[in-house]
Structure 1
Amino acid sequence: MSTGIIAALILSGVTVGFINTLAGGGTIISLSLFMFLGLPPTVANGTNRIAVIIQNLVAVGNFRKQKILDTSKGIRLAIPTTIGSVIGASIGATIDQHTFEVCFGVIMLMMLALLIFKPEKWLHGNTDLAQKPISAASYITFFLIGIYGGFLHVGVGYFILAGAVLGCGLDLVKANAIKNLIVLCYVPFSLLVFIFNKQVMWEYGLIHAIGNVIGAYVASKWAIKLGSNFIRWIMVVLILISVLQMFNIVDFKSLLNLAK
């Protein structure tokens, strides 16, 4: 492996780890890089999960030290998400990926509109709702999120944040901490499915993880200082990028090739 490839994997890892820890959507960068380096899409999808596990392990540790992580609520939400992720990873090969990506793009647009026109829901949460037990609707929601995350993972952080804020009443900083815990819980199970199907490139994944750890550490330190409004605008930009890619308005993968 050349020095240039190693540097690209680490630098992209820093970027992805930072973005994913603060909001989500950074996976589109790592998947694009892996495919740019010649990995098939399924192998890129599986390989990416190595770094995701390690980056979230670092982020969760820092969020706990800062006492902004509700571990109990996070674990309860992680259980249905994990069950769903196993189902999603198992049936992923039988799903029409193009149709799934279109649906994802539509949902991204809905979330983008919510972030722009209803920011108070993201910035302040709902104290009364947050103090109530987790509803059956939220458990079902996170089960469905798990199916999506097990299958594709790209942008799953947005759905987890939406479920935690709108369904459980958490403010965005606390929801973001829980998001990292939920991802840490479910991704190892979906990774096992890819390992079983021999769709993991360990060398690329582990080197990429070095950068992810750095990015996750920095982002988890900054999250509480920068606050909900900063995270919200990070989400707006990344959702917009995801939508442009999903609907082929801008082909960011081609831009990577042009930069080669």
Structure 2
Amino acid sequence: MEEWYHYVLLALLGLVVGALNTLAAGGSLLTLPILIFIGLPASVANGTNRIAVLTQGIANVAGYKSKGKAIASPFILYLSIIATIGTLIGSKLAIDINETAFNRILAIVMVLIVIVMLVQPRLRIDNFEETITGKRQFWAIVSFFFIGIYGGFIQAGTGIFVLLVLSTINHLTLMKSNVIKAVVMVVYTSAALILFGLNGKLDWEIGLTLASGQTLGGWITSRWSVNKGDGIVKILLIIVVIFMSIKLWFFN
């Protein structure tokens, strides 16, 4: 990026994505392809995107804690550890993959996540009993291992899968699911960031610019509310994601 206003626009994009990630997840569906479109190699864009994901996650956790929403339990520890193991596997795959192949995989994944967002069941969680022990704890841990692999490989849309697992398997409320999502993603994203950094796949200047907006957006939104409607946001996200996936497939 050569002009000063490019950095301003990137920071503003981060602000929007930070709010989106906190409300509904899926912000990396925008940031990752945009980083590729502005000229970063796919693996560098993939690594650089984690800088903002990490700083926003820290801001989210701080925001929840300031509102008395922090959750401390062995369940979060188990999920964080297993997701981190999976993330290291996924990150190594992402670092080694061919750039064109990664772009096309990203295009496919973006379309699939759009489908998930469209058909995602609206469960009335208040009708179920929360369960984070026994078999449901086991299946959540197994699920988070594969979520970790996916998150390490591509990150985009990981939060959506986290919320689906915690709501359908453990019957957690949206608030508790978002708090757990924030904590787990801070832990495993830290590990991914280290691995990408050791392999020279980070652009700190661009990453920190994006992170400045994304962190602020995440902190403000986590303090405001995670229970506001996100319907219109999802519709706009779906339209943009479809356009970007087409561009990634045919013009990479």
The TM-score with structure 2 as length reference comes to: 0.84
Shift in alpha-carbon separation, 1:23–1:153, aligned structure 2, 3 A? same
Which residues of structure 2 form unaligned runs of 5+?
none
Moved more, 39-48 or 124-133: 124-133
Find the aligned partners of 2:107 and 2:6 in 1 and give their Cα distance.
29
Find the aligned partners of 1:17 and 1:75 in 2 and give their Cα distance.
24
Shift of 1:75: 2.5
For the aligned residue pairs, the C-alpha RMSD in angstroms reads 2.7
Amino acid of the residue matched to residue 216 of structure 1?
G
Q: Percent identity at matched positions? A: 32
Shift in alpha-carbon separation, 1:234–1:22, aligned structure 2, 3 A? farther
Shift in alpha-carbon separation, 1:26–1:189, aligned structure 2, 3 A? same
Match of 1:12 in 2: 13
The superposition leaves residues 195-248 of structure 1 with CA deviations (integer Å, 9 ceiling, x where unpaired) of 122111011111221111210111101224xx2x614x3674367347625763
Shift of 1:179: 0.8
Conservation of the 8 A alpha-carbon contact between 1:48 and 1:205? yes
Amino acid of the residue matched to residue 164 of structure 1?
L
Amino acid of the residue matched to residue 230 of structure 1?
G
Shift of 1:88: 0.5
Match of 1:66 in 2: 67
Which residues of structure 1 form unaligned runs of 5+?
255-260
Shift in alpha-carbon separation, 1:150–1:125, aligned structure 2, 3 A? farther
The answer to whether structure 1 residue 173 and structure 2 residue 204 are counterparts is no
The superposition leaves residues 65-121 of structure 1 with CA deviations (integer Å, 9 ceiling, x where unpaired) of 22333232323211111110011001223485335753563354245213xxx42x1
Shift of 1:170: 0.4
Shift of 1:64: 2.0
Shift in alpha-carbon separation, 1:59–1:41, aligned structure 2, 3 A? same
Find the aligned partners of 1:238 and 1:155 in 2 and give their Cα distance.
15
Find the aligned partners of 1:172 and 1:7 in 2 and give their Cα distance.
32
Provide the secondary structure at the position in 1 that maps to 2:129.
helix
Match of 1:214 in 2: 216
Q: Identify the match of residue 115 of structure 2 among 109, 113, 132.
A: 109
Find the aligned partners of 2:221 and 2:181 in 1 and give their Cα distance.
14
Provide the secondary structure at the position in 1 that maps to 2:225.
helix
Conservation of the 8 A alpha-carbon contact between 2:54 and 2:190? yes
The TM-score with structure 1 as length reference comes to: 0.82
Provide the secondary structure at the position in 2 that maps to 1:230.
coil
Conservation of the 8 A alpha-carbon contact between 2:131 and 2:137? no
Amino acid of the residue matched to residue 78 of structure 1?
S
Match of 1:237 in 2: 235
Match of 2:53 in 1: 52
The answer to whether structure 1 residue 86 and structure 2 residue 85 are counterparts is no
Shift in alpha-carbon separation, 1:103–1:213, aligned structure 2, 3 A? closer
Moved more, 104-113 or 32-41: 104-113
Q: After TM superposition, which residue ranges in structure 1, 4 or more long, deviate above 6 angstroms? A: none
Conservation of the 8 A alpha-carbon contact between 1:75 and 1:181? no
Find the aligned partners of 1:159 and 1:21 in 2 and give their Cα distance.
14
Match of 1:156 in 2: 158
Match of 1:257 in 2: none
Moved more, 177-186 or 30-39: 30-39
